[in-house]
Structure 1
Amino acid sequence: MAETGMAPTEKAPYTLNRATGDLADGAAKLAQEIGSTGVEALLAQANRTAARRGAAGALGSMKPRPAEWYAFDAKDQDTADWYPQGLTCGEESGSIGVPVFVASWYFKPEAGERGIRVSFLSPRTLKYQHALLVAAKPDGSYAPINIHAGGIALDGDLLYVADTFKGLRVFDLNNLLDLRTAQNDLGDPTRIGRHRGKFHAFGYRYVIPQTDFWKLAQPGPHFSFVSIDRSGGTPQLITGEYWEDDPGGRVAHWDLAFSGGEPNEVFVMGHPKIQGAISHGGKWYLSQAANATTNGKLLVYADQKLQTRPFPIGPEDLTVQDGKLWSVTEFRNKRVIFGVGL
C-alpha cells in the first residue's frame, strides 16, 4: 500500500461504549481508605531529578536541535524494564495550576508484571516522581494493568490512557493516592495490593486507580496513542493507531467532554510507524519512528501539503505546551522529553 497522506475514511469501526463496571466503586473505596493528594503536592516532594539538555545521544543527527529537552535520571535511562511511551502536560489538561509533563511507561518483562506507571515532571524544578496506575477492586485491593500505554492525554483531571486493543482507560487525578498518608512505610517492594492490612505498590509511594473505561464496540481499530487539540473552538480528543510496515494507520477526532459513540471524523494517515499524532492550528503533526539508532521524523500536514522535519531517535506521543510541540523518546540511555517549534 503506497503512502497517500491524510485521507478521510469510515467512522463506524471506531465506536466506543462506556464500560465503567465496578471501577469507580473500587477507586472510591481505595481513595477513602488511603486519602488523596494533588499534583502540586506530589511535585513539591518529588524524589528524582531530570537533567536539562542531558542524554544528548537521543538527538542523533538532528539539526537544528530541539528548543529544549529534559533527560530522565541515570537509573531511568538505563533500565531495560521500563520504556517511556505517552506524553501529556498541564496545558493540555486546561486545569492543572502548575507547569508539568506527564509521561507513561510500560513494564517490558513478561515475568513479574508490574503494569504501567506515569512520571510527573516539573520543567521549573526538574524534579519528577513516578506513580503506578492500578485497577482497584471493590474489596479495597488493587492490581497492576498489563497494557502498552502508548499514549496519554489530560482533559481537566481525567487522564486518558490508550489501551491498544480495547479503547481508552480513564484515571481521575482527584484519586492521586499517597500511601504515606495511610501507613508509615511503602510496604513490600515485591508485592502489589492490600495484604494483612497494609498497602503495597512494588515500592511506589503513589498509586492512581482506574475510574472509567471506553471500550470498542467491535474489535479492529487500535488505540496506540492519544492527544488533545485546544487550538480551535471545541477541544478535540485525538486517537490514533500505529502500524509497523503499513501506511494505513488511522487517526480520529472526538469532541470533549468525551461521551463515546462514533468519532466526528477519521483519517488514514498514509505513513507507517506513526507513534503519535496531534492536530493544532489547522495542521496535523505526526511523529514517525525508525529504530534505536536512527532518527525519526516529524511529518507536518498543512492543506494536504507535507513538510518533513528532523526529529530525535525513538519519538513517541505528542502534546503542546508553551507554544511548542513536545514528545518523549523511548530507548535506553536516550530518554528525553523534548520540545520543538510548531
Structure 2
Amino acid sequence: MSDAQDDELWGSAGNIQLYASYDGWDPGRENDPNPATGDCTAAELEADDACNQKGVRITFLQNRVNPVTGVPEIKYRHVLLGWTYENSADHISFDGLHASEYPIQKGVHAGGIVWYGNYLYVADTRNGLRVFDMRTIMDLDPDGDPGTHDAMGSDTDGVKTTANVEDKTKVGRHNNVWYSFGYRYVMPQVAAWKFRSTQSNPSGSYACVATGAPKASYVSLDRSTVPDRLLMGEYCRPAGGYPSTGRIASYPVADLEQRSADVPAEGWANYLPMTNGGGQGAAAYNGTLYVNESKGTDEPGNLWRYGWNNGALVQNGQAIKTARGAEDLYLDRGMGRLWSISEHRPGVAADCTANPDPLRPAGTDYCQRVPYAHKLSWLTAQP
C-alpha cells in the first residue's frame, strides 16, 4: 500500500496490503509438452477442478477494527486476474494469466507487481508489463449467494448474461454465462506495455544476452524521485557465453499512464554488476538502488546497494547476507522497511528436506517460504 497513494492510505479503507500468488500446476493447458504433467483428458477437465491452471490472483488484505464489535480483525478478498479477448460469438471473454499455456502465454507468474493509483502493473517475463484497472473489477456474485447465478446485464446487441461461481472448472464467457474458476471477483487486463525490440534471450533458459528486449522479471516503484518511476529488471544466470548479468531501467509512471508513444528507459538504466548469481528483485529509494541476488538453496543470498554516478552503477558498501532464495523487493516508506520473501518450498530443492544438510541444526528447514524485512536505517549503517 506504500506504493498506491502518496499518503499510503486508500481513502476510508485505510492501509490495504496487496499480495500476488499464482497456480502454476499445469496438467490441463493445451499442448503441454512436459511428459511429467501432460494434458488432462476432456472428461477430467470437465470434472476435476485440479485440471485447470487458474493463473494469477491478487489478494487484498485489510487490518481494521470491526465497526460493530470494536475488535481488531483482518478482512481479505481474492481477485482473479484475466486477459480479455473476443470469442467465436464476437463477444468479449477472458482467460486467466497462466504461467505456461502453450503457445499463447509463457512466464506470467506475477514475479513483480506495483499498485499505483487506480492501476496494477504486472511483470510479464517475455513481453513487458500487463496493466489492470481497480475500477473495472467484476463482481460475479453481487448478492453473496453462489446458488442464485446473478444477472450480469446485457450486451449492446441485447444478449443477456448471467454468472456462475459454483463451477470451478470453467473461466470466461460460455453460452452467455460468465465463469471464473469459482472466484467471485475478476480484474480484467485493460492495457499492455511491450518492449519495442525483439527479445533474443534464449527461451527456457535463465541466461541472458546483451542485445534486444530484456526480460521483465521484476518491477517496483520509486516514489523518492520526481517524477515517480517504475523500476523493471531481468533475472539472469550468467553462463555459457551469454554476456549479460541482467539489465535494469526506470520509466516515468505518468508516461506509462498515457498509453501512447514510446517511453524511453531513464535513470537507473544499466547492467547489474554481478557475476555469480542473478538479480531477483530491485528497489530504489533516495538515491540508493537495492538489489537482491539469489545464490540458490545452498547459501544465503546477497543484498547489494548501488549508487548512480556518471551513467554507471557504483557499489556502496559490502554485500549484506540475506535469505536463501531471496526474491522481489518492496519498500514500505511509512515503516522504513525493505520487504522480500524467500523463494524455496520444502521438499523441492535437492538440498532441502529431500537431502537434509548435516550442518543445519536439527529440526530446521531453510527452504521454507518466509516473508522478511530489513530496516532501512540498519541497512544504511552497514559497512
Q: Same fold (TM over 0.5)?
A: yes
Question: 1:285-307: CA deviations, max 9, x gaps?
Answer: 00122334643221122462243
Residue 255 of structure 2: SS of its match in structure 1?
coil
Label 1:329 to 1:129 Cα distance change in 2 as closer, same or farther (>3 A): farther
- TM-score with structure 1 setting the length: 0.67
In structure 2, do the counterparts of structure 1 residues 273 and 182 end up closer, same or farther at CA, with 3 Å as the change threshold? Answer: farther
Against the structure 1 CA distance between its residues 287 and 157, is the aligned structure 2 distance closer, same or farther, given a 3 Å change threshold?
Answer: same
Alignment match of 1:177 (pick from 114, 123, 138):
138
- How many angstroms apart in 2 are the aligned matches of 1:116 and 1:273? 24
TM-score normalized by structure 2?
Answer: 0.61
Bigger shift: residues 255-264 or 225-234: 255-264
Cα drift, residue 203 of structure 1 = 1.8
Q: Are the equivalent residues in 1 in contact too, given 2:337–2:375 (CA < 8 A)?
A: yes
Pairs within 5 Å for 1:150-189: 150-181=111-142, 184-185=145-146, 186-189=165-168
- Is 1:268–2:220 an aligned residue pair? no
Query: Which residue in the other structure is 1:86 paired with?
Result: none
The answer to whether the Cα contact below 8 Å between 1:277 and 1:287 also exists between their aligned partners in 2 is yes
Q: 1:8-47 counterparts in 2 under 5 A?
A: none
Aligned-partner SS, 1:257: helix
SS in 1 for 2:59: strand
- Which one-letter code corresponds to 1:195 in the other structure? H
Q: Deviations over 1:36-68 (max 9, x none)?
A: xxxxxxxxxxxxxxxxxxxxxxxxxxxxxxxxx
CA contact (8 A) 2:255 2:263 kept: no
Q: Deviations over 1:192-251 (max 9, x none)?
A: 112344322212222110000111112231111111100123211111000023662011
Matched, 1:229 2:229: no
Deviation at 1:282, TM superposition (A): 0.7
Contact 1:103 1:328 in 2 (8 A): no
Structure 2, unaligned stretches of length 5 or more?
Answer: 29-52, 65-72, 99-107, 147-164, 200-213, 257-261, 309-313, 347-367, 377-383
Between the aligned partners of 1:126 and 1:329, the Cα distance in structure 2 is: 24
The alignment status of 1:115 with 2:55, answered yes or no, reads yes
Residue 340 of structure 1 pairs with residue 382 of structure 2: no
Deviation at 1:160, TM superposition (A): 0.7
SS in 2 for 1:295: coil
Structure with the bigger percentage of strand: 1
Q: How many residues get paired? A: 253
Shift of 1:326: 1.4
Q: Which consecutive unaligned segments of at least 5 residues does structure 1 have?
A: 1-89
CA gap of 1:135–1:100, structure 2 versus 1, over 3 A, is: same
The structure having more radius of gyration, on CA atoms, is 2
Does residue 99 (structure 1) correspond to residue 112 (structure 2)? The answer is: no
Per the TM alignment, residue 140 of structure 1 is displaced from its structure 2 partner at its CA by 3.5
Q: Which amino acid aligns with 1:233?
A: V
Q: Where does 1:251-290 land on structure 2 (aligned, <5 Å)? A: 251-259=248-256, 260-265=262-267, 266-271=269-274, 272-290=277-295
What is residue 46 of structure 2 aligned with on the other side?
Answer: none
Distance 2:118 2:170 in 1: 28
SS of the residue corresponding to residue 307 of structure 1 reads coil
Q: Indicate the residue corresponding to 1:199 in structure 2.
A: 178
Which of 95, 109, 120 aligns to 1:143? It is 95
Q: Is 1:300 the equivalent of 2:305?
A: yes
Pairwise CA distance, 1:123: 5.5
